Amino acid sequence: MKSKEIISRILSFCLTLVMLIAEIPVSHAEGKKLGVNTDSKIFAAIGNEPDRSLIEKAYRDVITAYYYADIDDLSPAHYALTDIDKDGILELLIGMRGVSYSVTSVYTYTDNEVKLIGEIEEGHGSFYAIDDRNGLLECYEAQGHIKITIWRKIIIWGSEEEYTLIPETVYDEDFYGDSYPSPNEFVPNVSSLPYYKCNDLSGISKERFSDGKNGSVSIADAKVGDYIVLGSYEQDNDSTNGKEGIEWLVLAKEADKVLVISRYGIDCRRFNSSRVSVTWDKCSIRKWLNSSFLNAAFTEQEKAMISSVTVRADKNPEYSVKAGNSTKDKIFLLSVTEADQYFSTDKMRKCVPTAYAFAQGIWTDDISMIDGTETCRWWLRSTGRNSMRAAGTDFDGSVSCFGYYVNSSTIAIRPAMWIDLA
């Protein structure tokens, strides 16, 4: 089925859903846009600028329509939001994927309407925001070949509110290295987009429709208790739709840097590969965090934002055991002291795992839950009751200084790091 026929059927479904939900008059033109009358209470403009909360509502309706649509062998894999041309209005990307074919539809909000401005039909590419100029980067990697394309949003000549996307191929060659290079090696100032499934509208709530920036808040504007997005990692346990943006909770902020910890238990890893006497400076999880995880989760530009800091060998406050030596790391685990310092209550320390982490073997508990989701234990770097144990946080958020055997395979990882704001 041709992509335009697919889009036409999708948008027809969107129109029906919007009319049922919002009970407002709509118009449909050329199968290319989801339109609503300009006097609609939902899409009304406020002065010369659109109300961002109304854009949010409009995008929610479109995403929901995609989720319920049934289009042959294509299924809505994910959506993302990014301000392509830096005009303060987020564009909506929705990917429809099949076994050998996919199409990503790009929408914007203009002239009081949600409009389709482009369809990208190149295999199973990944998309990245270009932070400092007009552009959406597509990176297609398959069978030893790389194609890098920049899609720019431009206004159609002779119109005032009609836009389209134009492509510019910046790299299209075979590649013979051991691993594919980062997109930042071809285009500077590229950052990962957070992706969400179409049945998960939390992604809409996490976007700042007031300023068009990706993530809950921008890193520079973040305050203690805010969530930011940086890097990407497999989280929904569906590798076919790419990695998802990592959410980080801001624990502390200084003049030129912020301390963050992952919002979720992002993976299931042993503190150490075998049950031996070991401390943070020698354990296998420290090596994994600062090599495999660091390289998998962050682009070169993002890695440059992460400070290499001295990680103290904090002692266990309840047991007289060796703490090991201080280290110099980019990524680390909190200590018992820091877990008490940055989380004032057990409830604040409670954590849920990602679907991917759960699939790796994390144990969860249905007694201590967060919004109906079972919680998990997560590692701390402090030595436990003895050097064959490491401290951790229990299902209910309480700190276990007694700890768990270092080779336990059912405990989550919550990486922490300092992000440089300079």
Amino acid at 282: K
Please indicate, yes or no, if residue 150 is contained in any of the structural domains: yes
Lowest mean pLDDT among 44-53, 353-362, 373-382, 411-420: 44-53
> In the prediction, which pLDDT does 193 show?
83
How many structural domains comprise the chain?
2
81 and 179 housed in the same domain: yes
The CA–CA distances, whole Å, from 233 to 96, 207, 262, 336 equal: 20, 19, 11, 26
Q: What average pLDDT does the structure give for the chain?
A: 81
CA distance 265 to 299: 21
Please indicate, yes or no, if residue 140 is contained in any of the structural domains: yes
Indicate the burial class of 166 (C-beta count within 10 angstroms; 0-12, 13-18, 19 or more): exposed
Q: Answer yes or no: are the C-beta atoms of 261 and 414 closer than 8 Å.
A: yes
CA distance 262 to 377: 14
- Let me know how long the chain is: 422
189 and 307 housed in the same domain: no
**215 has a pLDDT exceeding 50:** no
Average pLDDT for residues 397-419, to the nearest whole number?
97
> In the prediction, which pLDDT does 60 show?
84
> In the prediction, which pLDDT does 43 show?
27
The parent domain of residue 54 ranges over 3-215
- In 4-125, the DSSP E strands lie at 26-27, 33-36, 45-46, 49-50, 75-82, 91-97, 102-110, 113-120
Please indicate, yes or no, if residue 234 is contained in any of the structural domains: no
Amino acid at 175: F
> In the prediction, which pLDDT does 76 show?
59
Return the exposure string of 46-71: e unless at least 16 CB atoms fall within 10 Å of the residue's CB, then b. Answer: eeeebebebbbbbbebbbbbbbebeb
Average pLDDT for residues 410-420, to the nearest whole number?
97
Average pLDDT for residues 110-131, to the nearest whole number?
83
**401 has a pLDDT exceeding 70:** yes
**198 has a pLDDT exceeding 70:** yes
Backbone φ and ψ of 96, nearest 5°: -110, 125
Choose the final residue of a domain: 182, 215, 248. Answer: 215
Average pLDDT for residues 109-122, to the nearest whole number?
86
Looking at per-residue confidence, does 412 or 75 come out higher?
Answer: 412
Torsion sign, CA atoms 298, 303, 307, 310: positive
pLDDT interval class at 240 (50, 70, 90): confident
Q: In the numeric block, which tokens belong to residue 325?
A: 């030596």
Q: In the numeric block, which tokens belong to residue 111?
A: 């002239």
90 and 211 housed in the same domain: yes
End-to-end CA distance of the chain: 50
72 and 171 housed in the same domain: yes
Read off the pLDDT of residues 288-298 as tens digits, 9 standing for 90 and up. Answer: 999 999 999 99
CA distance 244 to 223: 23
Pairing relationship of beta strands 364-370 and 373-376 according to DSSP bridges = antiparallel
Read off the pLDDT of residues 315-369 as tens digits, 9 standing for 90 and up. Answer: 999 999 999 999 999 999 999 999 999 999 999 999 999 999 999 999 999 888 8
135 and 271 housed in the same domain: no
pLDDT interval class at 124 (50, 70, 90): low
Please indicate, yes or no, if residue 231 is contained in any of the structural domains: no
> In the prediction, which pLDDT does 115 show?
92
In the chain, DSSP finds a helix count (H) and a strand count (E) of 9, 26
pLDDT interval class at 93 (50, 70, 90): very high
210 and 269 housed in the same domain: no
Lowest mean pLDDT among 31-35, 153-157, 259-263: 31-35
> In the prediction, which pLDDT does 206 show?
56
Lowest mean pLDDT among 188-197, 229-238, 388-397: 188-197
